[in-house]
Structures are given as structure tokens and as C-alpha cells.
Chains A and B, each alone.
Chain A
């Protein structure tokens, strides 16, 4: 692996006494798509939400181990680092499209406003750039002041991607971004992700194995909170090393 964006070392995660993630190691390659697959409840979303410290929002959660961000070699799950500082660099797109009940423009501009940027020209420019990156600009350029809820589900999800992109994140996290969408909208989001990896490192959680096979460069298979196998996508889907991985991807359980 040439260029590493993040290195997960001995990551453990606990909800109270519940040991959810067990000793996981993983390298996230820069400007690649890394997919996490596994059956429901295996901890893949929990794993993803460690990267932007989402668990800090809820009580009784505890991280152990390290997620090192390169090149500055900073451990982003260290309690000495403010989760807000982490979230400023690592954005997230959620399972269900969750635009704010505001205008399309304000939805995208939000990340900038949070950072204290309020100059109109600056906002206009960045909002347009982001909407173009999310391939939504042509559809909404005349509707910027309209409520985001008038958009279709697929458009809403692309709006959420634009919102996540506006602050030029280093890593973009996707938590089953297409599970609430129809196949056509899903196809567009997948195309978009492949295009976006030129700008940003992508980690995606999906229960859809075909999706992982179609778009990702690397795939990790999680089972009961452990990474059973991690390698490049082609290898894991053609010649998996572990029996468990093979059983899962061939549909024998899951």
C-alpha cells in the first residue's frame, strides 16, 4: 500500500461493559475507497463512527488503541484531542438522507458557517463548487433558496454529500449511504463516490456486497466485532483466505 491516510492500531471499543470492537488493525489508503462489509450487528457502523468520534456524543462509550492520521501522526481517538477538531477534517454521510429543514443553499453552507465563514461571495463560491462535486448543481442551481425537503431521496443524499464536501475534508465516511435509495439513485451515488476519490479518501460501510465489489479498492470483512480479513477488493471477492469470509461472500450466511 503506497500512501496511507490513516492507520488503525489495536482499536477496541466499548459501550459500557459491552466490548463491541475487538483489537482491530487496518490501514486506510489515501484517495482510495475502503469498504467495510459484514452481517448486521457485526460492528461495522460502530467502527466507522470511531473515525469522527461520533461515539463521544453518547455516554458510557470508551475507545482503546489508536487511529493515527498521516502525515502528522496524530491519534484522533486520543482523549486529548477535541472531537470537534477531528470532525472538522473528517466528514460523514449518513444512512438515511438527513438534510436540515432549511434551504438547499443553507444546508451546504452549514459547514462553513460553523467555521465562522459568513462572507457571501466566499459562501456562494464554495457552495457552488461543492454542489458541482456532488453532481447536483445542474438540478438545483435555480432552487437554491427552496427547502431541501422538496428534493427526491437520491437528490437529498447527494445534497448531504455536498454538505460534507464543502469544508474539503480529508476523509469522507459513508454509512450505508444507499440503503434507503432505489437502484437508479444508488447507481448515481456509486458513480459519484468513484469520482470523488480523486479528491478525498473514502471509507464506506455497506451490507451490499455487490456494492463493495463494484466501487471499493480495499475491503475489510467484519464479524462479531473483529476484522476477519482485509485486503484488496478483487482478492477478497475472488480468493478469500479465510473460510468465514468465503462463506459470507458466497451468501451462506449474513
Chain B
């Protein structure tokens, strides 16, 4: 008798468990559908955006579009000064933000003592990455334009964008460095290496993939930024190029271009979109395609670099 009762109890429990499993499975499937839909909505919107941009702007894309200055006549207007401006801006941004960002990241990870001061610095760097870009523009207007008197120039624009992406590069550097196991550091120090030797032979080479990825993602963010460079006075209508950095006469290299006024891709787009004529909107879409492709190429490069270095280094 006792045995039979036990058996019935077990059967009841099993029955309950089966019900529970069915409910859990149902909840699971519901989430699966919700997740799938969410993913598709995001992708779908993006896809529509691309298609819309391409159908609007594609007819306008031609060799001439890249080699013409902006013009009052929409069919003659091009993006020459815009992409050249963007190119020079990126050079200045890279020259300032890359060495500063990498050095700061290495200092914070490898050298800085762990105390309240470094904690505060770390928290603030994370905060800086979240500061709205227009605020950087205001800061740069005060510091670079009015205080240092760099003018409304490529130098000012590049420095502003450097400030903007500096925290991103610092954080990417730190993350890449943190992925290196301590056993590698200890092996290096145990051979009598100094900190700098360890950084030079191990820390930097093993983290360079992650650092490069961070740099490219930072630059591809900077390339599309509009607000801060409008604030520091990038012009919307520029029908000339900056002074060439190379010249035929001694000393062959000139830095005058740093102080030339400039425009950039996002500003050109912004300018064309705000015109009333529909033809200019087509130009804007075409320039949008160019900017989008620039960014996609940079991001693709970042993914490629990350993949390559990850394959080469194992712990």
C-alpha cells in the first residue's frame, strides 16, 4: 500500500513538472519571436534608409561630382573641397589623437598606481566619451579659436575632433592591453626587463590589433561629426582647396594648409539639404552615399585588422 501511494505521488509530481516545462518552453518561444522581430525591424529600417539614399543620389554620382567645387548651379556642384577638407581634417585628428590616446592608455594600464586619483581619472575618461559633441565644439571655440587664435582653420577643426575621439582611443587601448594575461608580463619582468622594455616588446605588439580597431572606429565617428566643426566655424561654401602641403620650391613642405578655412563632407551635406531646391537634395543624397561608403570602408578595415591580429596571437 505504502509503495502504491509513493508511486502515485511521483506520477503527480511528474505531471506537474511536464506542465511547467511546457509553460517554460512557451515563454522561450515567445521571446524567440520577439527577439527575431526586433532584429528584423532594426535591419529593415537600415535597409530602407540605404535604398532610399541610393535611389535618390546614385544618378548624381560621377567623376565630375568628385572634382567640382560647390556651385550655385546644382548640376555643376561637386564635393571636391568637402572630401579634401575631410581628408586633411582626418590627418590632423589622427596626428594628435593617436599618440596621445595610446600613451595615455598605456600609462593608465601599466604605469599608474591604483589609487583614488587614478580611479577619478578613469571615471572621467569614461564620462568624456559620453559628452555631447557640440559641447566639444563650444570648448574648442573658446580655447582654439579665441584663446590660441588658430582661427576657423583645419587645425582647429582637427584638434576639436581629436578631443572628441581621444577618450575612445584611450578606452580601446586600455581594453586591448587588459586582454594580455599577467603571466606574459611576469615572464618578461622575470627576465630582467624594465617596464618600458615590456611595453615595447610585448604590451604594444600584442595589443596593437585592438588599438588600431579603436582608432579606426574613432576616426569613422569623427568623419561624420557635424556639430562641433560647425561650431568652430567650418564654412559651408568653399570654392578653393587648402594650400598644398608639398611645393616645388624650398623648403618643399608647407604647413600653411593648417590655417586655411575648410569645409567637410557632413557640412556640405547639411548645406545642400537646407537649400530649397530639390536638385540640391539629390546632391546631398549623393554626398551621403560617398560619406557612408567612406565610413563602411573604415569599419570594414577595423574588422579585418581585428580578425587578422586575433588569429596571430594566442595565449
**Cβ–Cβ < 8 Å partners of B206 in chain A:** 101
Q: List 6 A-B contacts (CB under 8 A).
A: A54-B190, A99-B187, A101-B313, A113-B201, A114-B193, A164-B190
Taking the closest CB of chain A, its distance from the CB of B117, in whole angstroms, is 14
Of A91, A110, A111, A164, most buried by chain B (CB within 10 Å of CB) is A110
Q: Which 5 interchain pairs have the tightest Cβ spacing?
A: A88-B192, A98-B183, A87-B192, A92-B190, A111-B191
Taken residue by residue from 80 to 120, chain A's Cβ proximity to chain B (1 for < 8 Å, 0 otherwise) reads as 00001001100110101011110000000011011100000
Q: Taking the complex as formed, is A149 at the interface, i.e. its CB lies under 8 A from any CB of chain B? A: yes
The reply to whether B191 and A110 contact each other, CB–CB distance below 8 Å, is yes
Residues in A lying within 8 Å of B, measured CB to CB:
52, 54, 57, 59, 84, 87-88, 91-92, 94, 96, 98-101, 110-111, 113-115, 149, 160, 163-164, 167
A96 to B315, CA, bound (A): 11
A84 with B194, Cβ < 8 A, contacts A59-B114, A110-B201 known: yes
The reply to whether B192 and A167 contact each other, CB–CB distance below 8 Å, is yes
Chain B: interface residue count, which band? Answer: 20 to 34
Which residue of B187, B193, B202, B315 is within 8 Å of A94 (Cβ)?
A: B187
Of B192, B193, B206, most buried by chain A (CB within 10 Å of CB) is B192
Taking the closest CB of chain B, its distance from the CB of A100, in whole angstroms, is 6
Instruction: Across the interface, name the chain B residue whose C-beta is closest to A149.
Output: B314
Kindly identify, within residues 198 to 219 of chain B, every residue whose CB is under 8 Å from any CB belonging to chain A. 201-202, 206
A54 to B193, CA, bound (A): 12
A114 to B190, CA, bound (A): 11
Taking the closest CB of chain A, its distance from the CB of B208, in whole angstroms, is 12
A114 with B313, Cβ < 8 A, contacts A54-B186, A57-B186, A94-B186 known: no
A115 to B197, CA, bound (A): 10
A98 to B206, CA, bound (A): 14
A96 to B182, CA, bound (A): 12
**Cβ–Cβ < 8 Å partners of B188 in chain A:** 100, 110
Q: Taking the complex as formed, is B50 at the interface, i.e. its CB lies under 8 A from any CB of chain A? A: no
**Cβ–Cβ < 8 Å partners of B192 in chain A:** 84, 87-88, 111, 114-115, 167
A185 to B120, CA, bound (A): 48
The reply to whether B191 and A167 contact each other, CB–CB distance below 8 Å, is yes
The reply to whether A98 and B114 contact each other, CB–CB distance below 8 Å, is no
A164 to B187, CA, bound (A): 9
The reply to whether B189 and A87 contact each other, CB–CB distance below 8 Å, is yes
* Contact residues of B: prevailing secondary structure: helix
**Cβ–Cβ < 8 Å partners of A96 in chain B:** 183
**Cβ–Cβ < 8 Å partners of A94 in chain B:** 183, 186-187, 190
Q: Taking the complex as formed, is B184 at the interface, i.e. its CB lies under 8 A from any CB of chain A? A: yes
**Cβ–Cβ < 8 Å partners of A91 in chain B:** 190-191
Of B113, B183, B187, most buried by chain A (CB within 10 Å of CB) is B187
**Cβ–Cβ < 8 Å partners of B314 in chain A:** 101, 149
**Cβ–Cβ < 8 Å partners of B185 in chain A:** 57
**Cβ–Cβ < 8 Å partners of A114 in chain B:** 191-193, 197
A235 to B55, CA, bound (A): 89
A242 to B226, CA, bound (A): 78
**Cβ–Cβ < 8 Å partners of B191 in chain A:** 87, 91, 110-111, 114, 163-164, 167
Taken residue by residue from 104 to 118, chain B's Cβ proximity to chain A (1 for < 8 Å, 0 otherwise) reads as 000000000110000
Taking the closest CB of chain B, its distance from the CB of A108, in whole angstroms, is 11
**Cβ–Cβ < 8 Å partners of A87 in chain B:** 189-192
Taking the closest CB of chain A, its distance from the CB of B220, in whole angstroms, is 28
Known: A87-B192, A100-B187. 19 other contacts (CB 8 A): A54-B186, A54-B189, A57-B186, A59-B114, A87-B189, A87-B190, A91-B190, A91-B191, A94-B183, A94-B186, A94-B187, A101-B206, A101-B312, A101-B313, A101-B315, A110-B201, A111-B191, A114-B193, A163-B187
Taking the closest CB of chain B, its distance from the CB of A90, in whole angstroms, is 9
Taking the closest CB of chain B, its distance from the CB of A58, in whole angstroms, is 10
A87 to B186, CA, bound (A): 11
The reply to whether A98 and B193 contact each other, CB–CB distance below 8 Å, is no
**Cβ–Cβ < 8 Å partners of B313 in chain A:** 101
The reply to whether A100 and B114 contact each other, CB–CB distance below 8 Å, is no
**Cβ–Cβ < 8 Å partners of A160 in chain B:** 187
The reply to whether A100 and B202 contact each other, CB–CB distance below 8 Å, is yes
Taking the closest CB of chain A, its distance from the CB of B221, in whole angstroms, is 30
